[in-house]
Structure 1
Amino acid sequence: MPELPAHASPDLPPLYSPHPTSPGRDGFDFQTSAQGVEVEAHDTLARTKSHDPPASMVSPAFTPPATPGVSTPSHPRPPRSVPVDTSLHSDSPRPELLQKLPEVECEVRARIPTTTGHEMWLHVYRNSVDTKEHLAIVFGNQIRSRSLDAERPGETELDRMTRGAYVGRLYPGRTNSRVEQLKRAEGVPTKRRPESEFPQSEKSNGLLSPSSASSESGDVQTISSSELPLVRIHSECYTGETVWSARCDCGEQLDEAARLMADPILSPSGGAIIYLRQEGRGIGLGEKLKAYNLQDLGNDTYEANILLRHPADARSYGLATAMLMDLGLEGERGIRLLTNNPDKVRAVEGPGREVVVRERVAMVPLAWKTGGAQGIQSEEVEKYLSTKIEKFKHMLDQK
């Protein structure tokens, strides 16, 4: 998470419950009419000041492009990023990595209609380590699952189309999942070479787009090494994404990742959100709510997990690495990773650097970007961000 400004006070007062009409993750008041928003915001600010909250962490030095719910400027600015190279020696401790990556398989994929930007595809994965359905939210047509396209015994063309193993668009009356079959049925020659005809070096060095075997035109596609796909590894947060919690900015982060990846200018090669079902840093929703109660008793999120006899962070990223590999995002070409957590950079790369992170893109809170005009504003989220920076070593400084 973002780094606190130097003036932020480490001595934080006890937490309090926000007023029911305090802003949600998009700054929306769920109870007050539009005409009363300005007055309510002023009253909420006055109440907050009366509790002597910690010094504001809003950073006026950074003003990015528009955020979810706000129209994007005609010339959006790319997000700030910094080159990284984990192969270089570092004195900082490295996270423990799985010695063997899990096995993953994409069960089904479907197009999710959106109003602007890249097309979005939702992939559901099964794996060899748990029974949960982990997800990949893919933006654009240049990223595609290999296990999805693999032939499965006894399946028909309808079976393949039903589970999403098709190219192009589905339409009433379509009978084939592959463009080549459609062209041959219509007597149109196909230009695409079979994958077996590609040199081995061309297959393994990442120059061949994972979608080249299924492009709409049937032509081979390549992706420039300068156009790195944007990736976000996002852990499930029911409270922050669904029930408008102001204890964290997880829902806001999910919205922002989608906005950046959907924009063809900001992410010309598209992107992927790997959505892992590891609620509450891996402790589950019930235990997470217990941790919330401990936070109301004066503990921070790190201390609350420890008091419940859980690791401060029980998450694992081996599944994310395996899913990225299945999506064709492994290899030396590399990705841009949307995160403030330096440990996540190393963990996502895998035990053998199967995935290479070339750039780390900062995930800056919306309130920081807008000078406090938008985003989550509560004492709880200030404390949450402070704990992430001080105890989990998340960072915003990119120098």
Structure 2
Amino acid sequence: DVQCQVRARIPTMEGGEMHLFLYKNNKDTKEHMAIVYGDDIRSSSLDKTWENETIMNRVVRGAYYGRLEEIITDETQYTQLNAKQWARLAQQQAIAKEAWRPVSEAPLVRIHSECFTGETVHSARCDCGEQLDEAMRLMQQAGRGVIVYLRQEGRGIGLLEKLKAYNLQDLGHDTVAANLLLDHPADGRTYDIANDILKDLGLSEVRLLTNNPDKIEQLEAFGDIKVVDRKSMVPQSWSSSPPLSHTPQSTPKKELDRYLAVKVTKMRHMLDLPTSI
């Protein structure tokens, strides 16, 4: 089971916004998340009424409807809301809740595993950062969608073991062989928590952004979520014929191409290999 602990609005540098939902679960101690675009997608566990909670308690944990108004006009007001502010907040919530309608069409969904090296330090060993950015761009463009962000670093082996695998890759092993040499599976990720999060968000049908058939198979095996469409995530470097170059500048791309090719040839990823590889 999963329970959404808090939701918060996140404005983006591109001018859009999303809501970040943080989850706890009974399977591990990690804080998995959902990045949600669109006001029609809500968490059933977050929306439940907690014992003895006030309207302000619900606001603080993000279980409010609509968009919050700035009712605090005096920045020195550190006490509770006054009667007029309470009334205004209660009225705003009542109107917003009445106007809310649940999701009616299958949204874009990306099930994404944490990748410190690809997302934070911009490693050229993988395309994880690029995939996350592209999923966010597509969902912001569509106005709705969900990225389930799982804390499954290194295909489930963790950052420590992932960095060890990098050293083996520098000896010439590919990503699959490196994991196996460290006594790890080629891909140890599971998607039961992702399934539970999507259920909590009220989704039974999704349009999945993925090249990985294992994600589709695992997700549909639970019997709760139907993948009604799959959207490919073509790497930017593969979207057109890459230049045949052996200059030093091509070294990062060579490493990325090798990583991507292994996903196609050894992990069944649904991508067409460029003729230059």
TM-score band w.r.t. shorter chain: 0.7 to 0.9
Query: Counterparts of 1:183 and 1:380 in 2: how far apart (Å)?
Result: 53
Contact 1:106 1:125 in 2 (8 A): yes
* Change over 3 Å in CA distance of 1:217–1:282 after alignment to 2: closer
Q: Deviations over 1:17-44 (max 9, x none)?
A: xxxxxxxxxxxxxxxxxxxxxxxxxxxx
Q: Which residue does the alignment assign to 1:172? A: 71
Please give the alpha-carbon distance, in whole angstroms, between the structure 2 residues aligned to 1:285 and 1:262.
30
Quick one: distance in 1 between partners of 2:118 and 2:148?
17
Distance of aligned partners of 1:361 and 1:311 in 2 relative to their CA distance in 1, 3 Å threshold:
same
Counterpart CA distance in 2 for 1:108 and 1:311 is: 33
* 1:308 corresponds to 2:178: no
1:309-348 alignment, distance < 5 Å: 309-330=183-204, 334-348=205-219
Q: Which has the higher helix share?
A: 2
Contact 2:34 2:146 in 1 (8 A): yes
Following superposition, the deviation at residue 281 of structure 1 comes to 0.5
Question: How much is the aligned-residue C-alpha RMSD, in angstroms?
Answer: 2.4
Q: Mapping of 1:1-399 within 5 angstroms?
A: 103-114=1-12, 119-170=17-68, 171-173=70-72, 175=86, 181-182=90-91, 216=96, 218-219=98-99, 221=101, 223-225=103-105, 228-263=106-141, 267-268=142-143, 270-330=144-204, 334-351=205-222, 353-369=223-239, 371-372=241-242, 377-396=252-271
Q: Distance in 2 between matches of 1:294 and 1:176?
A: 63
- Cα distance in 1 between the residues matched to 2:263 and 2:20: 30
Residues 168, 184 of structure 1: alpha-carbon distance in 2 compared, 3 angstrom cutoff? closer
Task: Quote the Cα distance in structure 2 between the aligned partners of 1:365 and 1:175.
Answer: 50
Contact 2:7-2:20 at 8 Å conserved across structures: yes
CA distance in structure 2 between the partners assigned to 1:145 and 1:220 by the alignment: 13
State the Cα distance separating 1:162 from its structure 2 match: 0.6
State the partner residue of 1:74.
none
> Residues 116 and 176 from structure 1, CA distance in 2 versus in 1: closer, same or farther, beyond 3 angstroms?
farther
Deviation at 1:175, TM superposition (A): 3.4
Q: 1:127 to 1:385 in 2, by over 3 A?
A: same
Higher strand content, 1 or 2: 2
Which segment drifts farther, 361-370 or 250-259? 361-370
**Conservation of the 8 A alpha-carbon contact between 2:66 and 2:93:** no
Please give the secondary structure, in 2, of the residue aligned with 1:135.
Answer: strand
Cα distance change, pair 183–137 in 1 and its aligned pair in 2 (3 A): closer
What is the letter of the counterpart of residue 227 of structure 2? V
CA distance in 1, matches of 2:229, 2:92: 40
* Number of residue pairs aligned between Structure 1 and Structure 2: 253
Once the two structures are superposed, what CA deviation does each residue of 1:211-234 show, in whole Å capped at 9, x if it has no partner? xxxxx3723636554xx2000000
The answer for unaligned runs of 5 or more in structure 1 is 1-102, 191-215
Deviates more, 1:112-121 or 1:247-256: 112-121
Q: Is the 8 A contact 2:125 2:252 kept in 1?
A: no
> Which segments of 5 or more consecutive residues in structure 2 lack a partner in the other structure?
73-84, 244-249, 273-277
1:366–1:376 Cα contact (<8 Å) kept: no
Measured in 2, the distance between the counterparts of 1:305 and 1:342 equals 20
Q: Secondary structure at the match of 1:154?
A: coil
Distance 1:305 1:184 in 2: 51
